[in-house]
Amino acid sequence: MFTIELSEDDRRRIDDLVAEILDGHGRPDAPELLDRITVWAQEMPRAVRTAANHFRLHEPAGGCLFTGFRVDDDAIGDTPAHWGGARANGTAREDLFLLLCASLLGDPIAWATQQGGRLLHDVMPIKGHESEQINSSTSAPLWWHTEDAFHPCRAHYVGLLCLRNPDAVETTYAVFDDLDLDEETVRTLMEPRYVIRPDESHLPKNRGGQDGDAPRELMERSFSWVEEMNSNPPLIPVLFGDPKAPYGRLDPYFMDRRDDDPEAMAAFDRFVKEIDDKLTSVVLKPGDALFIDNYKSVHGRKPYAARYDGRDRWLRRVNVTRDLRSSRATRVAAGARVIH
Ligand X SMILES: O=C(O)CCC(=O)C(=O)O
Ligand Y SMILES: NC(=[NH2+])NCCC[C@H](N)C(=O)O
* 199 near ligand Y (CB under 6 A): yes
| Rg (alpha carbons) of the chain, rounded to whole number | 19
Which x/- pattern, by CB under 6 A, does the window 77-116 give for ligand Y? ----------------------------------------
Q: What is the DSSP string of 138-202?
A: -SS-EEEE-TTTT-TT--SEEEEEEEE-TT-PEEEEEEGGG----HHHHHHHTSS-B-BPPPGGG
Q: Which is nearer to ligand Y, 4 or 142 (CB)?
A: 142
As a whole number of angstroms, the distance between CA 21 and CA 76 comes to 18
Contacts of 115 (CB under 8 A, 6+ apart): 83, 84, 121, 122, 201, 208
Which of ligand X, Fe ion, ligand Y, none does residue 301 bind to, with CB < 5 to 8 Å depending on kind? ligand X
Among 96, 101, 109, 142, contact with ligand X (rule: CB under 6 A): 142
- C-beta of 160 vs 239, nearer to ligand Y: 160
Is residue 246 within 8 A of residue 59, CB to CB? The reply is no
Which stretch, 64-72, 93-101, 246-254, 295-303, contacts ligand X (CB under 6 A)? 295-303
Element (H or E) spanning 45, and its range?
none
Report the site for ligand X in 159-198 (rule: CB under 6 A): 160, 171
User: Do residues 294 and 250 make contact, with C-beta atoms less than 8 angstroms apart?
Assistant: no
Pick the binder of ligand Y from 251, 288, 293, 312 (CB under 6 A): 251
- C-alpha 80/C-alpha 88 separation (Å) is 10
Cα–Cα distance for residue pair 127/306, rounded to 1 Å: 9
Residue partners of 246: CB distance under 8 A and separation at least 6: 176, 186, 189, 190, 239, 240
All residues at 6 or more sequence positions from 142 whose CB lies less than 8 Å from its CB, including other chains: 133, 134, 135, 300, 301
The nearest distance, CB 45 to ligand Y, in angstroms, is 31
Q: Is 336 helix (H, G, I), strand (E, B) or coil?
A: coil
Residue 202 CB, shortest distance to ligand X, in Å, is: 13
Q: What is the DSSP string of 226-257?
A: HHHHHHSPPPB-SEES-TTS-EE---GGGB--
Q: What are phi and psi of 297, to 5 degrees?
A: -150, 165
Determine whether the annotation assigns residue 145 to a binding site: yes
First to last CA, the chain: 32
The number of residues in the chain equals 340
Among 273-281, 294-302, 303-311, 318-326, the segment contacting ligand X (CB under 6 A): 294-302
Contact between 147 and Fe ion per CB under 5 A: yes
Q: Considering the complex, what minimum distance in angstroms separates the CB of residue 141 from ligand Y?
A: 9
201 binds ligand Y (CB under 6 A): yes
For ligand Y, the closer of residues 93 and 299 by Cβ is 299
Stretch in the footprint of ligand X (CB under 6 A) among 65-73, 109-117, 226-234, 296-304: 296-304
Member of 315, 318, 320, 338 binding ligand X (CB under 6 A)? 315
Q: Is 135 in the site for ligand Y (CB under 6 A)?
A: yes
Q: Which stretch binds ligand X (CB under 6 A): 18-26, 293-301, 318-326, 328-336?
A: 293-301
* Contacted entry of Fe ion, ligand Y, ligand X, none for residue 316, CB cut-off 5 to 8 Å set by kind: none
> Of 171 and 321, which CB lies nearer to ligand X in the complex structure?
171
**Residue 211's binding partner, choosing from ligand X, ligand Y, Fe ion, none, with beta-carbon cut-off 5 to 8 A by kind?**
none
Q: Is 312 in the site for Fe ion (CB under 5 A)?
A: no
Determine, following the binding rule CB under 6 A, whether residue 147 of this chain makes contact with ligand X.
Answer: yes
CA angle in degrees (0–180, nearest 5) for 250-317-228: 45
> Is 82 known to sit in a ligand binding site?
no
Binding-site residue numbers for Fe cation are: 145, 147
State the residues that interact with Fe ion by CB under 5 A. 147
State the residues that interact with ligand X by CB under 6 A. 123, 135, 142, 147, 158, 160, 171, 299-301, 315, 317
